[in-house]
Structure 1
Amino acid sequence: MKIGTLVSGVAGTAAVAVSALVMAPPASAAAPTTATVQVDCGDWGTGRATVTAEQRGGAPAVTFSTPVVWAHHSIPADSISTTATLSAAHGRTATLTGKANPAWTLLGQPFDSGVLTGTVTPGEAYRFTSITSTFGSLTIHCTAVSAQTPGPFVF
């Protein structure tokens, strides 16, 4: 085999491998991606909530949903201001915020915060602690009352 053929073959293989990596979808930079936690939402009651985690545009993102809090009347999309607090083992906290709720229109429809983003320390393990959402005079505040299952999020 000629050296020129060998070099072009190796270069071609490397180019194919690099292009496959470039075209591959980015992996979620959070693990686990979904967790559940028991929450106390004051007058709304207590129950199970689901928290999902992912990386969006380089920033950590979470979404909180629970049937404990449900719609009394229609609320338009992107109109509820929400702040979630996550805590780390070393006393650090992270605040993720957003105003990206989906339309909340059906009586009894469970609450969904939409995507909340913020800043965390990469590699640190964070647990959901609480969430506060506001729409006009309506305020929803839920606090975790159990450990997050399957465990903390690592971004």
Structure 2
Amino acid sequence: MKHLRPGRCGLRTALVVAVATAGTLAMAPAAPAVTPGTATLSFDCGFYGSGTGTLTATQNGTAATISLSTSAITSPIAIGANSVASTLTLTKNGSGTTQFSGKSNPAIPAGSPVSTGPLSGKVTAGDRLEATSLKVVVFGITATCKATSKQSPGPFVF
């Protein structure tokens, strides 16, 4: 009967495990990321006001979300959570458009800026999205805002 040297079997096992792990990591897809994660721009909402907006984007595969807070619209009364319906329109790759929408918001105290999102949409790798307009509906009243500046530091790239 052949005797195995101590440690030699353990070394072979460790080597096999290390090679298998490296191969698995090499085949794993890279985690999707959107850059920049946050951008700012200016909105003009007509009668409702104008001001800056902050957009925060996240991505999970082909699903993406954008949350928005803007000083362009302030709430004259307290608004309960999940009662603001919003649609954010963005240029897609410089020519077409896409929309992110949803009815999700934190509770908004009277006199506070409107925050909405996450708004949901679909993306593909390489999409470049830049906000152009925002529609917010609260208690049946619609405020339509147009972007008056480009996103800074630039469009979202998914």
What's the TM-score bracket when you normalise by the shorter of the two chains? 0.7 to 0.9
**Matched-pair identity in %:** 38
What is the Cα deviation at residue 107 of structure 1?
A: 2.0
C-alpha separation in 2, matches of 1:81 and 1:74 = 15
Determine whether 1:146 maps to 2:139: no
Aligned CA distance change for structure 1 residues 89 and 39 (closer, same or farther; 3 Å): same
Match of 1:43 among 31, 42, 47: 47
Larger radius of gyration: 2
Query: In 2, distance between residues paired with 1:129 and 1:14?
Result: 49
Change (3 A) 1:57 1:122: closer
The correspondence of residues 43-122 of structure 1 with structure 2, limited to 5 A, is 43-56=47-60, 58-104=62-108, 106-122=109-125
Deviation at 1:74, TM superposition (A): 1.7
Q: Deviations over 1:114-151 (max 9, x none)?
A: 20011123212110111101122321211111111000
Distance 1:28 1:50 in 2: 22
3-state SS, counterpart of residue 142 of structure 2: strand
Report the residue type matching 2:147 in the other structure: A
Contact 1:53 1:60 in 2 (8 A): yes
- In the TM superposition, residue 92 of structure 1 has moved relative to its aligned partner by 1.8
Task: Tell me if 1:131 matches 2:134.
Answer: yes
Shift of 1:95: 0.8
Distance 1:103 1:57, change over 3 A: farther
Letter in 2 for 1:34: T
SS of the equivalent of 1:101 reads: coil
TM-score under structure 2 normalisation? 0.81
- Offset at 1:16? 6.7
C-alpha deviation, 1:53, in angstroms: 0.6
Give how far 1:28 is off: 6.1
Aligned positions, number = 149
TM-score for both structures, normalised by structure 1? 0.83
Task: Give RMSD over aligned pairs.
Answer: 2.6
Q: Give unpaired runs (5+ residues) of structure 1.
A: none
Partner of 1:113, secondary structure, is: strand
| 5+ residue gaps, structure 2 | none
